[in-house]
Structure 1
Amino acid sequence: MRTWNDLYKMLKNGEMDQSLIQTGCEDINAYRTRATEVMNGFEKTFGVKEDTLAALCSAPGRTEICGNHTDHQHGHVLAAAVNLDFLACVSPNGTQTVHFQSEGWPMTTVDLSDLEQQEAEKETTASLVRGVMAELAKAGYTIGGFDMYAVSNVLPGSGLSSSAACEILLGVAGNHLFCQDELDAVTLAKIGQKAENQYFGKPSGLMDQTASSVGDAVAIDFADPSAPIVRSVTANLEELGLALCIVDCGADHAALTGEYASIPREMEKVAAFFGKKVLREVQEEEVLKAMPQLRRAVGDRAVLRALHFYADDRRAVEEADALERRDRDAFLQLVKESGRSSWELLQNITPAGAVEAQDMAIALEAAEIALNGKGACRVHGGGFAGTIQAFVPTESVSEFCEKMELMLRKGCCHVLNIRPTGGIVL
């Protein structure tokens, strides 16, 4: 770790440009300016002495490429880090208190002398800070307080998982300050997930944190969630002549908790019919043979959602293989199949009973029209609201975005890159 003054000089002089390139930024000058503003924000917020030690840390958002609602059933997923991130300047402060200042938000202060879960902190940034630091302490490291000034351009409510990026940012910083960078990317992902599950109070799989922590594309097998098998996949979309577009459908996730919770609940009802906990433990053939009894016992939607699981679980592996062998046609076909399965079987496009407001369905149909038979599109992430994903031929990106913004609204279409690295100290 360097002094804040030395780090600032290196940043301004361009000596850190090679490190900054690892973030997948398209404009190195713009990213250098952003990093400089973060350091200035730190100085203004916390003050800087001649011997103040500091580091710059970055953690990316992520995009789910395939495996829609398969992770919580211990299946396969394919995800990737994107070139939008949480960027922070961090410095140890010699106390047992963390001061976390996210630009534009109130200061978060956490006393680390008590690392137990705090009910009053549920669903707050403070819970993530306490949870991550508690896991580092449980791993046997001596932790301490720090000051952090952070900014994020991970689109809120976009399905790009700003929460996972925040967790990985905290893990990367803690690993650097107190663990001599000994913890690997998958371990940091598990720490982030525990913080989110136990401290924040949100039941989630490990896909988001793993994609953010590892970087590039990752094919993950969650057969044993405590020890997921992670395969790095090079996702060179540019080489395939494709661009990744994330389109905001215009609806938010408010009041949709029940819709999201119904998916794992119904899938687990099917598993329970066979005396199992999750669908990964049940053979698809068993479901097909027992379908008449299953329909009576758990209902048709639960059966359809189970069938989606088996199909998308296979597709996640096949898409990873298609990317590895640079098979554009196979990749796009699988994306289309995943999208149709999510709409028809998983049914996470329109909230139950919604008639007048069907934002995601409109966005998907608009994307099909804009693509005009080229590329592919699908739901992105949890569904029901938020964003859709489109893989667009590079020569058609401008036209695609123009058409989408004409049919939906200005600024709805975002062109992203796959980021080659996960959470890092720059």
Structure 2
Amino acid sequence: MHLPSEKILENVYGESQISLKRFKSLAQHFKSHFKTEQVEYFSSPGRTEIIGNHTDHNGGKVIAASIDMDTIGAAFPNNSNIVCIVSEGYEKEIIVDLSSDDEIPLNEGTLSLVAGMMKVTKNFGFKVSGFNAYVSTNVISSAGVSSSASFEMLICSVINYFFNNNELNYIDYAQIGQYAENKYWNKASGLMDQMACAVGGTILLDFSKNVKFEKVDFSFAQIGYDLIIINTGKGHADLSHEYSEIPLEMKLIAHKLGTSHLSENDLSDILNRFSEIESSVTNDRAILRSLHFFEENHRVNEAISAIREENRKQLLKLIEESGNSSWKWLQNCHSEENYKEQKVSLVLALTELFLRKIGDGCCRVHGGGFAGVIMSIVPKTETSNYIQFISRFVTINNIYPLQIRKFGAIHFE
């Protein structure tokens, strides 16, 4: 069985031997399970959100990037109507009969997600057919780095390569994944996760009308910092309802202003009609979350300017402000239903003590929030000291120094 070349692996991963070992294992498992040596290889990264927390679902802006954790897959068409996916670490195969896509079960995890993606792809006018795939991932699950979107974009790249002559674009990928999550998984997600995983590198996303993205030449390494993700010890898989309340509450305020999304308004619209809105919605949190949206959108614009002007100090200040707004205004650092468990807030507080002492860096909640992970931006000269410090409070295996990856969802030629 052929494998991706060491040159290609080094270009994608920065090294070849560790990644070659992963793909050798993937190939062996695929051959053993599906009894064939015909195979192609695919990869899709996880993502980090740099700034723009919970703005995408209301037409806002985000700066996001792919990371060097990824989902990899070995796949090949099986000349049938059956999609069969084996995901490493999960006992049950995912089996979808494409001839029965009107009988898709709802809210049955990955089965519903894959079946939904197949149906949506056809509804979008693209082709699907049966294939076999063996999938493995090192993207931490239920922890805010979009393991689900990474998986979705991998499947999109498989469908695109085998059945559509690479005619799907990144926005097609993202919309297929998002629609399947919304419709078949009951998760009110925006498009940010999927776009960041699909495109790769650092990107500026604008969801105000049609989805637009722009590649940005940026990594934290370029300015002398390390990006460190800390898994605080509890996933957010059982908190979908709290995650979904954020876009719903923001849209509630938008509707009071006569629009469908907050991006169609500005901050003055709320302030000028504050008494009317407050009395009609009787939901102060919804107003706070909407105020966060407008200020966060403004911060994204300022952050892009800081990146282009190579103003490191201003960029870190804006990321810190973004994190504080998520903590206080957006209120997605702990679950209201289990307010005594505040691992995200606790690890943020401990990190702030360290950063205050060294007088540099910043931190913030990462991703959807409520549980999961935080993001710390630490000077490279202090990274080992920070890891030593924070490992007193969280398990060392839950500390992940990351790099921004140049490539999104890809087929290895």
TM-score, structure 2 normalization: 0.94
Task: State yes or no: 1:210 paired with 2:210.
Answer: no
- Counterpart amino acid of 2:250? M
CA distance in 2, matches of 1:357, 1:144: 45
Greater shift, 170-179 or 396-405, is seen at: 396-405
Q: Check conservation: 1:117, 1:131, Cα contact below 8 A.
A: no
Q: Check conservation: 1:61, 1:154, Cα contact below 8 A.
A: yes
SS of 1:143's equivalent in the other structure is coil
Q: Which residue of 2 aligns with 1:158?
A: 143
SS of 2:50's equivalent in the other structure is strand
Q: Which residue of 1 aligns with 2:7?
A: 18
Q: Which residue of 2 aligns with 1:63?
A: 48
Q: Which residue of 2 aligns with 1:310?
A: 294
Q: Which residue of 2 aligns with 1:352?
A: 336
How has the CA–CA distance of structure 1 residues 311 and 32 changed in structure 2, closer, same or farther, with 3 Å as cutoff?
A: same
CA distance in 1, matches of 2:383, 2:111: 40
Shift of 1:125: 1.7
Deviations 1:54-84 (A, max 9, x none): 2100001111111111111111111111011
The partner residue of 2:277 within 290, 294, 305 is: 294
Q: Check conservation: 1:71, 1:205, Cα contact below 8 A.
A: yes
SS of 2:222's equivalent in the other structure is coil
Task: State yes or no: 1:96 paired with 2:81.
Answer: yes
How has the CA–CA distance of structure 1 residues 277 and 80 changed in structure 2, closer, same or farther, with 3 Å as cutoff?
A: same
Q: Check conservation: 2:202, 2:219, Cα contact below 8 A.
A: no
Q: Which residue of 2 aligns with 1:413?
A: 399
CA distance in 2, matches of 1:205, 1:35: 32
Deviations 1:304-355 (A, max 9, x none): 1111110001112222332233321111011011011111111111222655
Gaps of 5+ in 2: none
Greater shift, 139-148 or 151-160, is seen at: 139-148
Q: Check conservation: 1:61, 1:162, Cα contact below 8 A.
A: yes
CA distance in 1, matches of 2:308, 2:76: 40
SS of 2:392's equivalent in the other structure is helix
The partner residue of 1:83 within 58, 61, 68 is: 68
Shift of 1:147: 0.7
Q: Which residue of 1 aligns with 2:307?
A: 323
SS of 2:18's equivalent in the other structure is helix
SS of 1:115's equivalent in the other structure is helix
CA distance in 1, matches of 2:214, 2:304: 9
> RMSD between aligned alpha carbons?
1.8
Q: Which residue of 1 aligns with 2:232?
A: 249
How has the CA–CA distance of structure 1 residues 136 and 384 changed in structure 2, closer, same or farther, with 3 Å as cutoff?
A: closer
How has the CA–CA distance of structure 1 residues 215 and 364 changed in structure 2, closer, same or farther, with 3 Å as cutoff?
A: same
Deviations 1:369-423 (A, max 9, x none): 2223311100101111100111111111111111111123332211011010100
Task: State yes or no: 1:182 paired with 2:167.
Answer: yes
- Counterpart amino acid of 1:419? R
Q: Check conservation: 1:117, 1:199, Cα contact below 8 A.
A: no
Q: Check conservation: 2:188, 2:247, Cα contact below 8 A.
A: no
CA distance in 2, matches of 1:127, 1:139: 18
SS of 1:116's equivalent in the other structure is helix
Q: Which residue of 2 aligns with 1:35?
A: 23
Q: Check conservation: 1:78, 1:317, Cα contact below 8 A.
A: no
How has the CA–CA distance of structure 1 residues 421 and 359 changed in structure 2, closer, same or farther, with 3 Å as cutoff?
A: same
How has the CA–CA distance of structure 1 residues 262 and 329 changed in structure 2, closer, same or farther, with 3 Å as cutoff?
A: same
Task: State yes or no: 1:403 paired with 2:403.
Answer: no
- Counterpart amino acid of 2:310? R
Q: Which residue of 2 aligns with 1:271?
A: 254
Q: Check conservation: 1:22, 1:420, Cα contact below 8 A.
A: no
How has the CA–CA distance of structure 1 residues 35 and 252 changed in structure 2, closer, same or farther, with 3 Å as cutoff?
A: same
CA distance in 2, matches of 1:141, 1:264: 29
- Counterpart amino acid of 1:150? V
CA distance in 1, matches of 2:252, 2:184: 27
Task: State yes or no: 1:191 paired with 2:191.
Answer: no
Shift of 1:280: 1.3
Q: Check conservation: 1:137, 1:143, Cα contact below 8 A.
A: yes
Q: Check conservation: 2:178, 2:189, Cα contact below 8 A.
A: yes
- Counterpart amino acid of 2:257? F
CA distance in 1, matches of 2:336, 2:114: 36
Q: Which residue of 2 aligns with 1:332?
A: 316
> Aligned pair count?
408
SS of 1:239's equivalent in the other structure is helix
CA distance in 2, matches of 1:165, 1:141: 21
Q: Which residue of 2 aligns with 1:122?
A: 107
Task: State yes or no: 1:382 paired with 2:368.
Answer: yes
Shift of 1:187: 1.9
- Counterpart amino acid of 2:35? G
CA distance in 2, matches of 1:84, 1:326: 27
Q: Check conservation: 2:189, 2:244, Cα contact below 8 A.
A: no
The partner residue of 2:245 within 262, 267, 273 is: 262
Identity score, percent: 35
Q: Check conservation: 2:267, 2:294, Cα contact below 8 A.
A: yes
Structure 1 consecutive aligned stretches of length 4 or more whose deviation exceeds 4 Å: none
Shift of 1:139: 4.1
Q: Which residue of 2 aligns with 1:169?
A: 154
Task: State yes or no: 1:107 paired with 2:98.
Answer: no
Shift of 1:234: 1.7
